[in-house]
Structure 1
Amino acid sequence: MPGVQASQQIEALIAGGAIRAARPVAPGQVQPASLDLRLGARAYRVRASFLAGRERSVAERLADFTMHEFDLSGGAVLEKGCVYLVPLLESLDLPDHLSGAASAKSSIGRLDLLTRVLTDRGTEFDRIPPGYSGPLWAEICPRSFSVLAAEGQMLTQVIFRDGDTRLSDDALRALHDETPLVGAGPARIDGGLGFSVDLAPARGDLVGYRAKPHTGIVDLARVSHYPVQDYWEEVRSQSGHIILDPGAFYILVSREAIAIPPGHAAEMAPYLAMVGEFRVHYAGFFDPGFGWAGAGGTGSRGVLEVRCHEAPFVLEHGQVVGRLIYERMAEVPAALYGTGIASNYQGQGLKLSKHFRMDEGR
């Protein structure tokens, strides 16, 4: 059946050799609608980001751009502002009817750690063509914090699509009528489900966080470890707007609480490039069950990873900044997000990545 492949179908792809791994798949690596990808043992510091191009492999292009290589097996620091390539432990031999799409995991996006997947003969980041056979590589560029990374860590994820999986606006309206996709307020459906920024919290005046420019290293293996105030400045507002500083990175939250029903997944996309001098970055995929009541959610806010560009920009409460593109699942996953699996962000509001102690700095 056409649709995004569910966890049990991904496991069948592993068993059948369409997904290959240099070492056995780790517990928890298969998510409800995606597969987490693991870093390999070697890393390459490169002069610039690049794509392989239609006629060449990533390994061939490395010879043109590598500055030095180093070992990740015991962990190594990836420095802010530098670009690295790491071969992944997973490779693919997909059937012709399956394509793939990759994205940074939620915690990685919230660290402003630009992470993208490359393929041989690739002309786009994070897109794997139908029937692709070959290795996968991760490009990593820390933008706000230097990080300590190690072999086997999972920074990226990939979904597999069979055919056209996207819901039309009419189908999305019908789904919303059947099971509400947002909490209070109307659903703004136009090329997906629109969502807006929350700059008028019900309690207090904390509306977000801004990354500090000069901080220590973040060890990606540490959870609930780092004090918020050592890495982030609080962003407060009583006026319903904030002014974004050029070059700064912000964590904000959507006004809407959203839900993803079991037979669907979703991908976050920017709304319009011309609405202002900023971009909403996104971790990418929302698994079936995210925010859904049957999986322990009561609607979950979307965390927004925002970077301002050329000029200071006034961001207003309720301004539409992105949209969710809902997709059909080929099957309902055996386990939903938040139900029986380790889901860090079910029922979330304004929340930094799992590496920080959220009881501090508030």
Structure 2
Amino acid sequence: MQNGVLADHQIRALIAQGAIRASAPIDAGQVQPASLDLRLGAIAYRVRASFLAGRSRTVTERLADFQMHAIDLTGGAVLEKGCVYVVPLMESLALPAGMTGAASAKSSIGRLDLLTRIITDHGVEFDRVPAGYDGPLFVEICPRSFSVVAQPGQMLNQIIFRQGKTIMSDEDLRALHATTPIVSGDPVISDGLGFSVDLRPEAGNLVGYRAKPHTGVIDLAKLNHYDPAEFWEPVHTDTGWIILDPGAFYILVSREAIVIPPMQAAEMAPYLAMVGEFRVHYAGFFDPGFGYAAAGGAGSRGVLEVRCHEAPFVLEHGQVVGRLVYEHMAALPAALYGQAIQSNYQGQGLKLSKHFKPSA
């Protein structure tokens, strides 16, 4: 197999070979162009604290140390804001030697400020599956801004599979941009593609949303259902800057329109804390084809999930806030991200998760 991120048909081959197993049949819709959606099992364990198993322990052994009580998710159950839960997933792995996995929250989950991270037996990192891993998968869930209702089978996380070296060098990225532009305007390339925040929109002065501190519960099964005004405060500016409040969660948008060509995938990487008192949510994969066909290939903007840390911080229009690490695909996907597979965020601008009605 050629080195790179596995494409959809290669993921299906892993399923057929038994390298990806599940307690219920895997639905065809779980397989995305370069990733597999993972499903919640039936039980959530409320735990005292977030944890990693560590090299000598299994997740089940650690649950015995930290479990407070078990919750049956059948029919839906509330996962409360500020609490930590561990849920066994329906999927498990028996990866070939040399193949690794990397997981992240799905786009809609990150936009709810729902911290979800995959943990494994003998694991020492969140969201990383070591080469040749053979064992179960678990997800740690910590609602940060909103309590949610979850039930078995829901897909909060996705996983990609990597064979060998996949990350593109800056030199390769510049060469790719020269032939297939990956961003509007001049690219800022340094250990990936830098992107900045848009605080001077072309029309109006709405630049983002801030999560309200005291809200109702969001049922993850209800799409296009909730009034944004009940959960979000609009953020406006006429100055090209905003002040982030400590502990607050914001939805903003990138200034640049981004393109992921068919033979590339990308991961949003953590940004250095030294640039300011904030964190841009870094759990996020971009499938091949993101922005590629939108508006004639003009790209799609990236939604930024931003949390401010200890001190108020002034965020300026055009300030670089994150980077995308581009990776080679091992093969061309059979289907690309976009309308053909009913992708939710192709051609997006500033947009809340799919649980909310469109803003007026």
CA contact (8 A) 1:32 1:336 kept: yes
Counterpart CA distance in 1 for 2:296 and 2:55 is: 45
Residues 4-83 of structure 1 correspond to what in structure 2 (within 5 A)?
4-83=5-84
In the alignment, what sits opposite 1:310?
310
CA RMSD of aligned residues (A): 1.0
CA contact (8 A) 1:99 1:160 kept: yes
Q: C-alpha distance in 1, partners of 2:294/2:270?
A: 28
Separation (CA, whole Å) in 2 of partners of 1:276 and 1:345: 28
2:226 — aligned with what?
226
Q: Paired residue for 1:267?
A: 267
Amino acid at match of 2:120: T
CA contact (8 A) 1:38 1:155 kept: yes
Q: Which moved more, 1:73-82 or 1:263-272?
A: 263-272
Which residue number in structure 1 is paired with residue 155 of structure 2?
154
User: How far 1:284 moved relative to its partner?
Assistant: 1.2
CA contact (8 A) 1:268 1:282 kept: yes
Which has the higher mean CA deviation after the structures are superposed, 135-144 or 263-272?
263-272
State the aligned residue count.
359
User: What is the distance in 1 between the residues matched to 2:269 and 2:39?
Assistant: 25
Letter in 2 for 1:10: I
In the alignment, is the contact (CA less than 8 A) between 1:289 and 1:295 conserved in 2? no
Check whether the contact 2:8–2:31 (CA below 8 A) recurs between aligned residues. yes
Gaps of 5+ in 1: none
Classify the secondary structure of the residue corresponding to 1:226.
Answer: coil
Q: Output the amino acid matched with 2:179.
A: E
Matches within 5 A, 1:120-131: 120-131=121-132
1: CA distance between counterparts of 2:339 and 2:114? 28
Give me the whole-angstrom Cα distance separating, in 1, the residues matched to 2:237 and 2:146.
Answer: 25
Matched AA of 2:253: V
d(CA) in 1 for partners of 2:259 and 2:333? 16
Whether 1:330 aligns to 2:330 is yes
Task: Tell me how far apart the structure 2 counterparts of residues 61 and 89 of structure 1 sit (CA, whole Å).
Answer: 19
> Cα deviation per residue 1:73-106 (whole Å; 9 max; x = unaligned)?
2110000000000000000000012100000000
Secondary structure, aligned partner of 1:330: coil
The one-letter amino acid of 1:12's match is A
Please give the alpha-carbon distance, in whole angstroms, between the structure 2 residues aligned to 1:297 and 1:148: 37
- Equivalent residue of 2:10, what SS? helix
Compute the TM-score of the two structures, normalised by the length of structure 1: 0.98
Aligned-partner Cα distance in 1 for 2:57–2:74 = 28
Provide the C-alpha distance between the structure 2 equivalents of 1:354 and 1:278, rounded to a whole number of angstroms.
Answer: 25
Structure 1 counterpart of 2:58, which letter? S
Q: Is the 8 A contact 1:210 1:249 kept in 2?
A: yes
Q: Which amino acid in 1 is paired with 2:140? A: E
Give 1:11's aligned amino acid.
R
Query: Cα distance 1:60–1:133, how it changes in 2: closer, same or farther (>3 A)?
Result: same
State the match for 1:214 in structure 2.
Answer: 214
Task: Answer whether contact 1:250 1:305 (CA < 8 A) is retained.
Answer: yes
Alignment partners' CA distance in 2, 1:137 and 1:342 = 27
Matched residue type, 2:330? A
- CA drift at 1:339: 4.3
| 2-structure distance, mates of 1:225, 1:64 | 39
Q: Is the 8 A contact 2:294 2:346 kept in 1?
A: no
Partner Cα distance (1:295, 1:197) in 2: 21
Shift of 1:359: 3.2
Amino acid at match of 2:199: L
One-letter amino acid of the structure 2 residue matched with residue 153 of structure 1: Q
Shift of the 15–115 alpha-carbon distance from structure 1 to 2, 3 Å rule, reads same
1:88 paired residue number:
89
SS in 2 for 1:53: coil
- Measured after TM superposition, the shift of residue 211 of structure 1 is 0.1
SS in 2 for 1:222: coil
Which 5+ residue runs of structure 2 have no aligned equivalent?
none
Deviation at 1:267, TM superposition (A): 0.4
Q: Per-residue displacement from partner, 1:7-34 (whole Å, max 9, x unpaired)? A: 0000000000000000101231000000
CA contact (8 A) 1:209 1:251 kept: yes
Q: Retained in 2: the 8 A contact 1:254–1:302? A: yes
Q: Give the whole-Å Cα distance in 2 for the aligned partners of 1:347 and 1:42.
A: 37
Give, as a single letter, the amino acid of the residue that structure 2 aligns with 1:71.
D
Counterpart position of 2:139: 138
Cα deviation, residue 296, structure 1: 6.7
For residue 357 of structure 1, give the secondary structure of its aligned residue in structure 2: coil
CA contact (8 A) 1:108 1:283 kept: no
Contact 1:296–1:338 at 8 Å: present in 2 too? Answer: no
Q: Supply the distance in 1 between the matched residues of 2:303 and 2:62 (Cα, whole angstroms).
A: 35
Structure 2 equivalent of residue 99 of structure 1: 100
Query: Do the aligned partners of residues 167 and 14 (structure 1) sit closer, same or farther apart at CA in structure 2, a change above 3 Å counting?
Result: same
Aligned to 1:188: 188
Q: CA deviation at 1:270?
A: 2.7
Secondary structure at 2:274 match in 1: coil
> Aligned residue for 2:255?
255
Contact 1:297–1:346 under 8 Å retained in 2:
no
State the shift of 1:295 in Å: 9.5
Corresponding residue for 1:238? 238
Shift of 1:273: 1.5
